[in-house]
Chains A and B, each alone.
Chain A
Amino acid sequence: MIAVGEQAPDFTLRNQDGEKVSLADFRGRKVMLVFYPGDFSPVCGDQLSIYQEVKPEIEEKGVELIGVSVDSFFAHKAFQEKLGIDTVLLSDFEPKGEVARAYDSYVEKMGFANRTLVLVDEDGKVAWTYESPNPGEFPGANVIFDALS
């Protein structure tokens, strides 16, 4: 996992609508990066659905919630629509997993990111991280609120 206190590696990825989004766009605001294995997996669906339920309260704390996986932005769009969520999903598609690797979240033998949370502060530094023991488990939303308290 990337270490707390380090400068968060900048990136530019396409969102679910194909628009380019950079981490630097959020400078001055906090960002919670949610690395997850892949669109349409049951656990990822549960994770993003539950986070969606409390997203307004995460945003009230001045934090932008952003999902990142190795799927294409077309898949992200379909996944977003299937779940009925409006969380921004970024496509770490080509080179595959490059951003996940930069955050030391990529699982080589599986070909996707582990379930990882990274809080980036207003100055673009890593303020907090969480990595699931395995991709089958995800941190409940309470863990996010613990990090923001």
Chain B
Amino acid sequence: MPDLGSAPVPPAGPDDHVRGEGEEGLIVYADLGCPRCAAAWLRLREEPGRLVFRHFPVAAKHPRSPALHAAAEAAGRQGRFFEMVDSLYGDRGRVDDPHLWRRAERLGLDLDRFEADRRSEETGARIKRDFRSGIRGGVAGTPAVFDACTLVAVREREF
């Protein structure tokens, strides 16, 4: 496994989760369990142009985050990644497994496939890949927004 030393965040690639169109756009590292990300998402998703979403679950801070990211990734396997992201950020109070199944049903997903995909090694590896690229890019809190692979926005904090 490659080291976690500093490296620029990768540019948007063919297997990134991309909303909108265009050659240029923002890359956001976000945690689906993070309330600040949920608030920021309302603005980010309205940004014109291309928006790349990368997984950055911080389990120590938000214990359900890994499960939420796996659910989004599994929904993505059925073409509904951003619909699941919108759903999870839109209603942060219901995040247990039965709630995830209900969300999947509402999105018209094949539930058996959703279940298998969200627990698969491939899904775990895909999420980890994003997380590691964020660590290497210096992500220190979520959401972290990059423009042309340069960090442009983090929330302001005193200490």
> Which A residues are within 8 Å of any B CB, using their own CB?
37-38, 41-50, 52-54, 57, 83-85, 134-143, 145-146, 149
Name 8 extra pairs, CB < 8 A, besides A142-B137, A149-B5.
Answer: A46-B140, A50-B58, A50-B139, A50-B141, A54-B135, A142-B4, A145-B5, A146-B5
- Distance from B62 Cβ to chain A, minimum over Cβ atoms (Å): 9
B interface, over-half SS:
loop
B71 to chain A, nearest CB (A): 19
Q: A50: shortest Cβ distance to chain B, in Å?
A: 6
Taking a contact as CB atoms closer than 8 A, the residue among A41, A83, A135, A139 that contacts B140 in the complex is: A139
Residues of B within 8 A of A146 (CB): 5-6
Shortest distance between the CB of A143 and any CB in chain B (Å): 7
Distance between Cα atoms of A48 and B59 in the complex (Å): 12
B140 near A53: Cβ-Cβ < 8 Å = no
Cα of A2 to Cα of B158 in the assembled complex, Å: 25
Complex contacts, B61 vs chain A, CB 8 Å: 45-46, 49, 83-84
Q: Are A53 and B4 in contact (CB under 8 A)?
A: no
Q: Are B5 and A43 in contact (CB under 8 A)?
A: no
Distance in angstroms between the alpha carbons of A54 and B6 in the assembled complex: 14
Q: Which residue of A lies closest to B63 (CB)?
A: A84
Q: Is the interface of A mostly helix, strand, loop or mixed?
A: helix
Interface size class of B (residues with CB under 8 A): 20 to 34
**CB proximity of A77 to chain B, nearest CB, Å:** 16
CA A90 to CA B134, docked complex, whole Å: 29
Q: Is the CB of A53 within 8 A of B159?
A: no
Q: What are the residues of chain B within 8 A of A84 when measuring CB–CB?
A: 59-61, 63
Supply 29 A–B pairs (Cβ within 8 Å), ascending by A: A38-B159, A43-B158, A43-B159, A45-B61, A46-B58, A46-B141, A48-B60, A49-B58, A50-B60, A50-B135, A50-B139, A53-B59, A54-B135, A83-B61, A135-B158, A135-B159, A136-B156, A136-B159, A137-B140, A138-B140, A140-B135, A140-B139, A140-B140, A141-B135, A142-B4, A142-B5, A142-B7, A145-B3, A145-B5
Specify which chain B residues have a CB less than 8 angstroms from the CB of A47 in the assembled complex.
Answer: 140
A41 adjacent to B60 (CB under 8 Å): no
B19, CB-defined interface residue at 8 Å:
no
- Chain B residues with CB under 8 Å of A145's CB are 3-6
Is B43 at the interface (CB under 8 A from chain A)? no
A55: nearest chain-B partner, CB-CB: B60
